[in-house]
Amino acid sequence: MDARLPKFTASSDRAESGQSQQKADRTIAEQVDALSVYEDAVQEPLLECTNLASMYYQAQPIGSYRPDAKILREDFCSSAIVAQTWLSLGKDHRAQGVDIDLKALQVAQKRLMETERAERTACIVQSDAYSDSGSSRKLPYIKANRIQTDSIASQEASGSRSSSPSTWAEGAASDRFERKFQARLAKERAKAARKSGTLTPSAQEGDQTIEDDVPTAKGDVLILQHADVLSLPIKGLEGVDVESPDLIYAGNYALSYFHDRRSLLAYLAQCRRTLRKKTGVLIVDPFAGPTSWEAKTDAERKEQEELWNRFSKEPGFLRAGEEHPPSPLKGDPLEFWAREEGEQKSSSDTADWRQWPRGRLILVRKGHVGGEYEYWREDGPLDYTTNRFRMSLSFRFTRDGSWLRDYFSYDFRVWSLREITEAMEEVGFERVAVHAIPRTTESDQGEAMEKEEAEMKKSSDSDMDESGDDNDGLNGMAGLMERTEKNEAGKSTYKVVEPHHKLFATRSFGSEYSSSLS
């Protein structure tokens, strides 16, 4: 099984096998819509989209004819929640998603088709490698989709998705406001020039922001591609116009899927080849820094032992074939490890737990989908022969202590900042900017979220002027600038890693690479 596919889906045999049982006899983990829990726990789509837009703006040179990104492609998108959220940033925005999990893409299609107006649709296209017909094609939309999305849709409609601390790059709000302001001035100059008949051909062909009215994108505003990212663009498609994206986003440590330099270069070269010419930008956020398994004290080791022993008594924590928790590494200064003789061999899935030592359990965050849940991550030790480690995502439901264990399992390669920068430059990206941000703990997030929610509530009515018109977005941007810049010093913000910098870390940190073609 491919490590990029979830172990459980909403329509999997796991969910269906218990239908003959009484509902009361089943645990919460056996009944919950697993995908909705994953999306709530792992992704902050609106935050990600605003950050992506901000970083795209910063990557554009002064005078760029495409200062605003309109078309986003989300690689390794799963249910494409970032791509769909991108559509809400502007009525002319379009989005694409690429993944090998067809069920997750169907969730994304169903969600948009049931919430958007009839003229705005989502379609799924398949590469020949995944098509039953042996050729690339557009799949028909099946309305009676068995995949559950009601809980996701109702949650988003009510606005109950939890917020999180902003991670704007420093000065991003004022930069975005300035660009919007300059765009408005350009529109006014263009109007005056048209009235006087002095509008030049170059101005007519240039920046789209000089248009009086931004048309609403219609038709397939979300194109979901059932394909391997290394096979893009899909060839032989008929009746579907897959535009070159302004922005490609590969989030959730996606570059760590590639275990060798050859495949990493192949992916980056594909991105450069398929981006919009001259102005396209690739943004990735690979795993950076030491894994959380490292540098453990005796107290931390004791705490981990207690967690493993306690959780092993709860339903669903031990995996199939496990009678007791696996043994950890001994903690020796140098330790060689291999599967013991006679131990059951696992499948070819390199993320299988049986191929790795026991990791460290980390409580990442808490949430409310499916009842109170805890999002736990297991980080294994780093294998210094390959620079790889195992990570898995699990969910514990506090009402009954049941587990969705190893919902996703990954075999990650850790690439250094320099290795990724060199690879991007090698395939032809002309400008590569690296941003870094410290990761927050669960307590850090809670405090920052309370402050953020209070600030948003306080200024919720300040973005519109007295007439109810947001003045082409300028008043809204001014309010955003004021809120962001005011609290910027107290927040974790992206820092640009300059060529002369050395960077050290005591725990893993977030890193964003903005690679542009100009």
Each residue of 411-433: pLDDT tens digit?
Answer: 999 999 999 999 999 999 999 99
Does the pLDDT of residue 446 top 60, yes or no? no
Least confident of 186-200, 233-247, 361-375, 454-468: 454-468
pLDDT of residue 36: 86
Instruction: State how far the Cα of 106 lies from the Cα of 109, in Å rounded to an integer.
Output: 5
Task: Return d(Cα 315, Cα 19) in angstroms, integer.
Answer: 18
pLDDT score at 312: 95
Q: Are 403 and 325 in contact (CB under 8 A)?
A: no
Spans of all domains in the chain: 44-172+217-289+414-452+494-518, 298-412
**Closest-CA residue to 432 (of 422, 442, 446):** 422
Taking the domain 44-172+217-289+414-452+494-518, which CATH number applies?
A: 3.40.50.150
> Could you tell me which residues come within 8 angstroms of residue 426 by beta carbon, excluding any fewer than 6 positions away?
265
Pairing of strands 247-250, 71-75: parallel
Q: Each residue of 408-445: b (16+ CB within 10 Å) or e?
A: bbbbbbbbebebbbebbeebebeebbbbbbbbbeeeeb
Q: Please indicate whether residue 323 or residue 273 has the higher confidence score (pLDDT).
A: 273
Predicted confidence (pLDDT) per residue in 355-412, tens digit: 888 899 999 999 988 789 999 999 999 999 999 999 999 999 999 999 999 998 999 9
284 alpha carbon, distance to own chain's centre: 9
pLDDT band at 348 (very low <50, low <70, confident <90, very high): low
Distance in angstroms (rounded) separating the CA atoms of residues 139 and 124? 6
Model pLDDT for residues 87-125, shown as the tens digit of each residue: 999 889 999 999 999 999 999 999 898 876 667 899 999
Tokens 């975005």 belong to: 176
Helices 442-458, 474-487: axis angle to 10 degrees equals 140
What average pLDDT does the segment 199-226 reach?
61
User: What is the mean predicted confidence (pLDDT) over 492-506?
Assistant: 80
pLDDT at 387: 93
Beta bridge partners of 284: 250, 513
Residues whose CB is less than 8 angstroms from the CB of residue 9 and which lie 6 or more positions away in sequence, other chains included: 15, 34, 35, 103, 104, 147
Range with lowest mean pLDDT among 157-171, 230-244, 356-370, 376-390? 157-171
Q: Is residue 69 predicted with pLDDT exceeding 50? A: yes
Question: For residue 4, which of 60, 70, 76 has the smallest C-alpha distance?
Answer: 76
